Structures are given as structure tokens and as C-alpha cells.
Amino acid sequence: MLPTVARVLDLDVMRRGLPQVVAGADHLERPVRWVHVSELPDVAGMLRGGELVLTTGIALPEDREGLARYVRELDEVGVAGLVVEFGRRYFDSLPRALVNAAEQRGLPLITLRRELRFVAVTEAVHALVVNSQLEQLRISESVHQVFNELVVEGAEPPEVIRQVSRMAGAPVVLENLAHQVLAHDAAGRPEAEVLEDWERRSRGVRPAGRTGHDPRSGWLVTTVGARGQDWGRLVLVQEPGPLPEGEAHPHTMLLERGASALALNRLVVRDRESLERQTHRTLLSGILTHALTVSEAALRAQALGIPLEGRRLVGVVLRQRRGPIPAALEAQARLRDFTELAAGAVRACRLTALVGALDDEAVGLLITLGTQQDEHASLDALSAALRRMSAEAGREGGDPAGPVVAVGSSVGSVRDARRTLLEATQVADAALHDAPGGRSSSYYRLPDVRLRGLLHLLRDDARLQTYVERELGPLLAHDAEHNGQLVQMLRIYLEQGRNKSAAADAAHLSRPSFYDRLHKVERILGVDLDQVESCLSLHVALLALDAVRR
């Protein structure tokens, strides 16, 4: 930061001259780039702006017009101020025309009532200027070093924003073009103070150019984007007020460097999930794990443009039906596409929801419904959109049957959002083995999964696991030792309603071969498969085995 006129007047060497501001007292924050000593009345032609002009006034014009012209030319070239020493031309006051002209122009006009060595003033001010330039270079080098390291290390946007906030000592917010908060760092201030009513406040700040300061709000804003594709704004939130006259915002370079790091990060990770999906995923995870309080979750969702308070909330979990297990990178890409498909279906149905991945196979949605929105109609529309979009994706390797759509009970407060999401997760896990089609409803709820759902809820209970081992343990051990498929044969037999002929056809075996396998099952387990109660117990054990294994 260059020294201001006020800072120069506070120097010891200047105070010895007993300086007095006689005009332009409201403009003492003008930066001083240099000091120039001159007695010429046409000195303005030799200046570039930012100079503090020192003179004794011995050659200044005597007429009113000449003095006014002298001040006008200095102001037009952008000098920081004019200092006139008493003793050679003026002794105790300056001409009224000179003072009035400076006051009208807002040009700081200072008198020195005691004689000074101008060279001493020049040396002192120039030392300040040089030190300021060296400090700016040091800060610039530090900023570039920090952000180069962040880019090389592949730092995520929250880390970049945290670093900008720390170095600026103020809150920083990254928003998209719809003025929804993607990430932020409150710099120790209450989140509500920073994010409250964000969209409305942000829309009112429209500085000119890619980077600009808005004195009304105090915000410094820069556009984020690369290759001609802008996708957001980075905002430094500060108190309202204008900048020092003629001076750029001190954090302009810092904010622009942060925006460059964010833009580069987006280019590098463009094949990964979008920043919006990351933000939604983090918020859903915070709700499920209690990492966020109720008020924090509501505030952050509101800043994303997704109001949670005063609305009905419905948790939805989508699971892809099982297929060949893909490689890690392929699975990551498939989950990303699945998440974007879910977000696209939400947009197509004009619903409002948080949408993000919950694990490697599931996508969670927290849908917010207004009082006029019918819950069943909205969920039906969402399921239909998912099936349609999945069918379109199926032509390119997606799942044409569509995902499993599991829905939790609707709740009326943010405090219960976790409950509806957990219930939807449990329903999705239980419904995953249900055959697609043949159902009147397009989505699953807890009553739809019946016994399978109950067993899924109890899957971590040691008593259920003991029951599975007691009923099926010997058969599981036999299959493991002989690489057999007797458990599968038992499953087919029970799923076919104990119809041996239909079961043999479903197993693609001849009837004698299938019957022989059933006899082996009876011998190993010591049961009679003609008894209804034995078959019921074994069927429950198989369903419980599925739940335990998941």
C-alpha cells in the first residue's frame, strides 16, 4: 500500500514544518506515489499523477484565473496534494482564490508555517514508497507461492477458499451464476451473519469488469471461469465503504489468484463430480452423521437455494440394480453419471432437492415440498423421469430397468431430516432384490418391503446372525468346501413355491438331477423339505442371509 497524504503529514520531518490543511481535508487518503519539488506555474505538464507537489509559491500567478488554472491542471493530472511553504511568497495565509479552487476540486492543500529542507521530505517519502513497493512484492510472491502449491497438490475448492479467507482476514464465499453458495469460509464469524439472505444480497452487487469493488456493500468480487466459460463468482465480504481515492483494493490480487486456482481445479477435475454435487453430498452427509446442527444445515441449504424450514421433507434413496462389478475408475464414473441423472430428473420434474452420492452405489435426495405440492404425484413423476432417463441411458450402457427408488416417511422439520433419509436407505437395501416390474407403485416404502425390510432392519442383531448360521450353516460350509451350489438350489425351490418341476426348469436341470440335489440338502441340514414349517424357516433364513451379507 502506497503512503497516503495523511501518512506523509504524520512523518516527523513534516511535523517539524507545522503543517496545516487548508483545503481538501476529506481527501487526505489519496496515495502518494512520489514527491516533486517545483516552483513552475505550468508544472502539471511534467507530472504523471500521484505526486505530492512541494513549492514556496514564488512563481505562482497573482491573478484569480491563473491560480484557478494552476489548481485545475494539477487536479486533472491526478496529483495527490499541494504543499506550500510560508516565508518566501506567502507569510501567514494563502490567496483566497487558491484555497477556493483547491476546495472545489477536492485537492488537498497544505501550508507549512515553518521552513523545511525539501530534500529531507523527499528522502523520507521516497523511502516509504520504496518500502511499500518491496512489501507489495513480498506479499505477491507469498500469494503466488501458496496458490501454486495448492494447485500442484490438487487442493479442493474448500481448501482454496479457506486459504483466501485466512490471508485476507475476512469471509470468502464461492457462488454459482445463480447466486447460490457452493462453498464458503466465515473467517470465524457466525455463518448466519455471512450467509443470511445471500441470494438477494448477492444479486444487488454487480461491479463493472471481471473484478471490482462495490463500495455500497464493501464486497470485492471476481469472476471465476476459464476458456471463456464463466461458472461462478468469488466474493470477499467486508464492511461497506469506499476505497482510498485512486487506489485499487489491497486484496484484488489475492482474490484473483484464488479464482484462478478454482478455475484450474475445475478443469483438472472436470471428469469428476461437479462442485454443486460435492456441496450437496457434503450437506447430506452432515445431516446423516450429525456433523451439522439443525440450524447450520438449514442455513447452508438456504444459501444453496434449497429451503428446508417450513416445508415437508422427504428422503429418497436410489440404488442401481446389481450387475457386473466394474473397475474402480469405471465405478466412480458410473456413480457420477447416476448422480447427475438423478439431479436431471429432479430438474425435469421441477422439484427442489439436495442430490448427492451417499456411498459407492447409492444416491440420496432430500426433497422439499411446499404446501400445494402433492407428495405422491411428485414422487410418481420423479420415478417416471428416472425410468425414462435410465432407458435413454440404457442405449449407451445404462440400466434400462431404472434404479430402485426408495422413499422414507415425510417429515415436517429439519430436525427429522436424518430420520427420513435413514428410513429410505433401509428400504432401498431391502428392496434391491425385488424383481423390477409387476408393482402398482413406482417406488418403495417401508410397508412394501415387508419381511425382507424387517430382516434388513435386524441385520446387525447377533440373534438374527445366529439364526442364519443355525439354519443354513452346514449347507453354506458344504458349498464352500465343494464349490457347490446347494444353497442356490434351495433358494430356487423355495422361490418357486415348493414346485419341484418348476424349480428344476428354473435351475436349468433335469428333474432327476434337481431332485438329487434337494435330497442332499435334506441330508446335510437334517430337515424334511416336504414340511411347510421347515421350508418357512429356511426361506426366512435365506432372506436374513441376504440382509446380513449386504
Hey, which residues does 228 pair with through a beta bridge?
A: none
Q: At what angle do helices 462-482 and 486-495 cross, to 10 degrees?
A: 120
Strand residue runs (E) in 408-463: none
Using the 3D structure, point to which of 429, 450, 471 is the last residue of a domain.
450
Pick from 186-190, 248-252, 439-443, 464-468: least confident: 439-443
Give percent of the chain above pLDDT 70. 92
- Which element (helix H / strand E) includes 491? helix 486-495
Residue 515 CB-density burial (10 A; 0-12 exposed, 13-18 middle, 19+ buried):
middle
Structural domain contains residue 252: yes
Domain range for residue 520? Answer: 462-549
Per-residue pLDDT of 510-541, as tens digits, reads 999 999 999 999 999 999 998 999 899 999 99
Write down the pLDDT at residue 418.
94
Using the 3D structure, point to which of 244, 268, 292 is the last residue of a domain.
268
Instruction: Return the CATH number at 388.
Output: 3.30.70
Same domain, 354 and 332: yes
Write down the pLDDT at residue 306.
92
Residue 290 CB-density burial (10 A; 0-12 exposed, 13-18 middle, 19+ buried):
exposed
Phi (first) and psi of residue 209, to 5 degrees: 80, 175
Phi (first) and psi of residue 222, to 5 degrees: -135, 150
Which of the pair, 167 or 436, is modelled with greater confidence? 167
Same domain, 290 and 378: yes
Structural domain contains residue 308: yes
Listed residue (382, 352, 393, 385) closest to 370, CA to CA = 352
Mean pLDDT of 452-473: 83
Instruction: Return the CATH number at 84.
Output: 3.40.1390.20
Write down the pLDDT at residue 440.
60
Write down the pLDDT at residue 437.
55
Mean pLDDT of 82-98: 90
Whether pLDDT at 79 is above 80:
yes
Same domain, 418 and 482: no
Write down the pLDDT at residue 402.
74
Write down the pLDDT at residue 270.
55
Whether pLDDT at 262 is above 80:
yes
* Number of domains within the chain: 4
Whether pLDDT at 384 is above 70:
yes
Mean pLDDT of 473-478: 90
pLDDT band for position 336 (50/70/90)?
confident
Structural domain contains residue 426: yes
Per-residue pLDDT of 289-332, as tens digits, reads 999 999 999 999 999 889 999 999 999 999 987 655 555 556 77
Using the 3D structure, point to which of 268, 299, 326 is the last residue of a domain.
268
Same domain, 83 and 170: no
Per-residue pLDDT of 341-374, as tens digits, reads 999 999 999 999 999 999 888 999 999 999 889 9
pLDDT band for position 273 (50/70/90)?
low
Q: At what angle do helices 486-495 and 511-525 cross, to 10 degrees?
A: 110
Same domain, 308 and 435: yes
Structural domain contains residue 388: yes
Structural domain contains residue 141: no
Question: What's the rounded Cα separation, in Å, for the pair 318 and 339?
Answer: 9
Highest mean pLDDT pick, 9-23, 260-274, 434-448:
9-23
What's the full length of the chain, in residues?
A: 550
Residue 496 CB-density burial (10 A; 0-12 exposed, 13-18 middle, 19+ buried):
middle
Write down the pLDDT at residue 394.
63
Which of the pair, 334 or 314, is modelled with greater confidence? 314
Same domain, 426 and 298: yes
Write down the pLDDT at residue 396.
43
Question: What's the rounded Cα separation, in Å, for the pair 174 and 180?
Answer: 8
Strand residue runs (E) in 133-210: 172-176, 181-185
3-class secondary structure, 124:
helix
Q: At what angle do helices 252-268 and 157-168 cross, to 10 degrees?
A: 170
Chain position carrying cell 419381511: 451
Pick from 11-20, 229-238, 405-414, 434-443: least confident: 434-443
Chain position carrying cell 448466519: 192
Same domain, 304 and 432: yes
Structural domain contains residue 414: yes
Structural domain contains residue 110: yes
Chain position carrying cell 464492511: 239
Whether pLDDT at 399 is above 60:
no
Write down the pLDDT at residue 326.
56
Mean pLDDT of 2-23: 90
Same domain, 160 and 232: yes
Question: What's the rounded Cα separation, in Å, for the pair 245 and 208?
Answer: 17
Write down the pLDDT at residue 271.
46
Structural domain contains residue 323: yes
Q: At what angle do helices 252-268 and 118-152 cross, to 10 degrees?
A: 20
Same domain, 394 and 526: no
Question: What's the rounded Cα separation, in Å, for the pair 80 and 225?
Answer: 37
Average pLDDT in the chain: 86
Nearest-5° Cα angle at 415, 295 to 348: 90
Write down the pLDDT at residue 397.
47
Same domain, 486 and 466: yes
Same domain, 259 and 348: no
Same domain, 241 and 293: no
